[in-house]
Structure 1
Amino acid sequence: MRKNKLQRQASTIDKKFLLLSLFLTVVGLVALADASAPLAQRNFGDKFFFLKQQIVWAGVGIVLLFIASKIHYRLWEKIATIIFFLSLFGMLMVFIPGIGTKLLGARRWLVLGPITIQPSEFLKLTLAIYLAKVSSKNKKLAAYFVPLILALSLIMLQPDLGTAIVVSTIGMAQLFVSGISLIYFASTLALGGVLGFILIITSEYRRDRLLTFFEQTRDPLDKSYHIRQILLALGSGGLFGVGLGQSRQKYLFLPETATDSIFAIIAEEIGFLGASILIIIIVIFVIRGFAIARASPDTFSRVLSCGIMSWIGAQTLLNIGSMVAIVPLTGIPLPFFSYGGSSLIALLIGCGILLNISKYGKE
């Protein structure tokens, strides 16, 4: 009887989570095709340049999603150390001249022939896997915090505060569900907040970002230009939007329309109501993912599921929050929507792992 029950559980994935993952991927491609067209035309002479590349990455990601959904989640525990340190090696390689490339003052990308890889996107996933393994095997805090601090240090050297915030969220969320004492958790959270504040105020660039957030009329043609153009896009959209394909801000007024600012273009075209519906769908997706985590059969799968969904949830919250000016701009991409192969592939692999865990969930 027990064997039959396990076989039945192992043959069924969470179809709602799968459909939501695929739906958001397709909608993301449609949104990118629209938002990125003027920028692609100017930079490459082909308005579908970004879309064509993203379709390839989406195809690769979806294939890997289905492969990951077939691989027993326990395999990730066995290879956690290897893939985590490979990710750290990739993070170090971005500092090697000729391999790592610098853009907008940050070293975040590896150029390997025709392929550009952002190792920090894969680090989010491999760190979540590694910390889940540590949580299920070792209760010593040092074993947990050493890899987390190492990852954060390499991220801040690039520098990339937005990714550091997301990675910190992954670490804290996994620490919380691993069963740590609330006193230790609160102390760690407070210490992390103090260190984060110090990192902000000791960097002129990050300090300017924070000041611009609190004073959005400050230097409207330079430091606050980006946020002002975002707010113009949102205001132009009104309740029902200006119509699909009718955005004015995408015509090179708003920076980063294919990446960080894509939600502003979406909201401009489909309005407050349409954007609200989209956010609700994303929230349903995140809740569904956390439901998988809650029903996970063991500590490793529970902590891993929570880490993956905290990553997606935190990144979505940071991106949309910065678009509606409730948090400072962080340069964080919007999951499923922003242009970027590394981000999309890592995201879809994470979804595949959750789908496999859902096969073995408690009823």
Structure 2
Amino acid sequence: MAAENISGSRGHGGGSRERGRQGLGDGLRGVSSALTAWLTRPLASFHLLLAVFGLLTAFGLVMVLSASSVESFNEEGSSYSIFLSHLVHCLVGAVGCYVAMRMPVWALRRFSHVLLLICLLLLVLVLTGLGASDNGAQSWFVLGPISFQPVEPAKIALALWGAHVLVTKRALLGQYRHLLVPVVPAALLIFALVMMQPDLGSTVLLGVVLLALLWFAGAPLRLFSAVLLGGVTAATVLITVGGYQMGRVTSFLNPGADPQGAGFQSNQALLALADGGLFGEGLGRGWSKWQYLPEADNDFIFAVLGEELGFVGCAVVLVLFGTVAYVGMRIASRNTDPWIRLVAATLTTWLVAQAAINIGYVVGLLPVTGLPLPLISSGGSSVVTTMIVFGLLANCARHEPEAIAALRSLGPGRVGKLLRLPTPTPYRPPAPRRSTNNTAAKQRGPQPAKPSGKSGAGGGSRAGKQRQSAARGPRRARSAR
């Protein structure tokens, strides 16, 4: 009897577990179908991008406040000085994001070369006495309380202008001369100016922008092998010549070689991540920011995040940047304007690559480059530039054909009304160019020579007069009738 009760209870428990699994599976399928249905909406890319942008910005504000409080109090006597500076830059970046969303696409493309020339001029001027040095790099302009790096807008200018050139010449990109010139020489000039500061991290990001432009423009794979070989050679030479870059590479290859020098930050970052565990020490309760981890609020804020919020917090950030990658490539694939497609793919690659490089050197997978984590790290011009990039991507998202049709037929919607965004115009492919006279003559080939001589000329003129009179006859008759 007891055995029957035990077996019955086991059967009842197994049935409950089976029903629980079935209910969980039904719930997951329902969530998946609802998400799929939501993604089919015309403005799904735009709304999803704005949601991720807001979450990353809020996440960054909270983490900067936590990671910078100790350093702010030691240097300024207030725990909020670095946070308030970051907040001001976020507000400026939000304005730039809004302007980028409202800018007409044709204006961004038409004046991209002007922006590039201005950035080149600023990169030259920053190397003179007008520039200011910080951490061994003369890469800043300081105007009272305002400071910015000209290399940040140069990344945007290279992406916009390079996409314009490659799209304009897309019918000729099968030839290396048209594929590489003038985009690659202009990019190399920017690389040289940035390395004269020197700023290896920004040079790496500029290289990412260039490679993304060439890749999504359809450059052959053998070209990338040559470019990567040249880039690795140049980086090796620069690292060998530069003292601190060599120290970073050495500490990456052998973390125990200089634990109190070049490898100090990396070792402290790993210790902070190890202390975090699964759920972390709690927001604001980490120890690494108490002068144990340099640049805790900037380059190594991901280590503070892992210490205070644990693996779960790090996973949330990774999911958000993975969503940025998905949405950006979705925008690029759903647009019909080739310039928007190339710009969206390039800007997305830039953001995701910067996040991957920052997280990679914090967890010890890459050498330290000093690149901030987009929207999470504190910073001035980097935060503003990143927000402008999100604004450009949002502008590209509103130019999807389905989004344009919905905005024109149903109106701007809640977000559009709130932000007072203009209705985008649909893409119209340029009309095919008419061939010039020289080109037409070449296509027709050689023409037969005209007859020479007086008789020939006279006969020709008479025949012409007879043809003209014959042609006039019917017209006169029709007019008389």
| TM-score between the two structures when normalised by the length of structure 1 | 0.93
**Which moved further from structure 2: 109-118 or 199-208?**
199-208
Per-residue CA deviations over 1:281-335 (Å, capped at 9, x if unaligned) read: 2211222112112222222111111221111111101100000000011110110
Q: Name which of 375, 378, 382 aligns with 1:339.
A: 378
2:435 corresponds in structure 1 to none
Per-residue CA deviations over 1:27-53 (Å, capped at 9, x if unaligned) read: 111110110111111111111111111
Shift in Å, 1:11? 8.4
Shift in Å, 1:256? 0.5
Give the match's secondary structure for 1:165. Answer: helix
Q: Which amino acid aligns with 2:104?
A: H
Distance 1:117 1:346 in 2: 10
Contact 1:36-1:250 at 8 Å conserved across structures: yes
Aligned pairs (5 A) from 1:1-363: 14-97=46-129, 99-138=130-169, 139=173, 140=178, 141-363=180-402
Shift in Å, 1:236? 1.0
Q: Which amino acid aligns with 2:290?
A: Y
Give the match's secondary structure for 2:138. Answer: strand
Distance 1:13 1:318 in 2: 25
* More relative contact order, 1 or 2 (CA 8 Å, 6+ apart): 1
**Which moved further from structure 2: 150-159 or 183-192?**
183-192
Shift in Å, 1:241? 0.7
Distance 1:252 1:136 in 2: 50
Distance 1:278 1:12 in 2: 21
Shift in Å, 1:12? 8.4
Distance 1:247 1:346 in 2: 29
Who wins on radius of gyration, i.e. which is larger? 2
Among the aligned pairs, what percent are the same residue? 31
Give the match's secondary structure for 1:102. Answer: strand
The size of the alignment, in residue pairs, is 354
Shift in Å, 1:203? 2.6
Shift in Å, 1:362? 4.4
2:453 corresponds in structure 1 to none
Residue ranges of structure 1 left out of the alignment (5+ in a row): 1-8
Distance 1:271 1:362 in 2: 42
Contact 1:293-1:301 at 8 Å conserved across structures: yes
Distance 1:207 1:12 in 2: 46
Q: Which amino acid aligns with 1:69?
A: M
Q: Which amino acid aligns with 1:20?
A: V
Give the root-mean-square deviation of aligned CA atoms. Answer: 1.7
Q: Would the alpha carbon gap of residues 182 and 124 (structure 1) be closer, same or farther in structure 2, given more than 3 Å must change?
A: same
**Structure 1 stretches (4+) deviating beyond 6 angstroms?**
9-13
| TM-score between the two structures when normalised by the length of structure 2 | 0.71
**Which moved further from structure 2: 86-95 or 167-176?**
86-95
Shift in Å, 1:176? 0.7
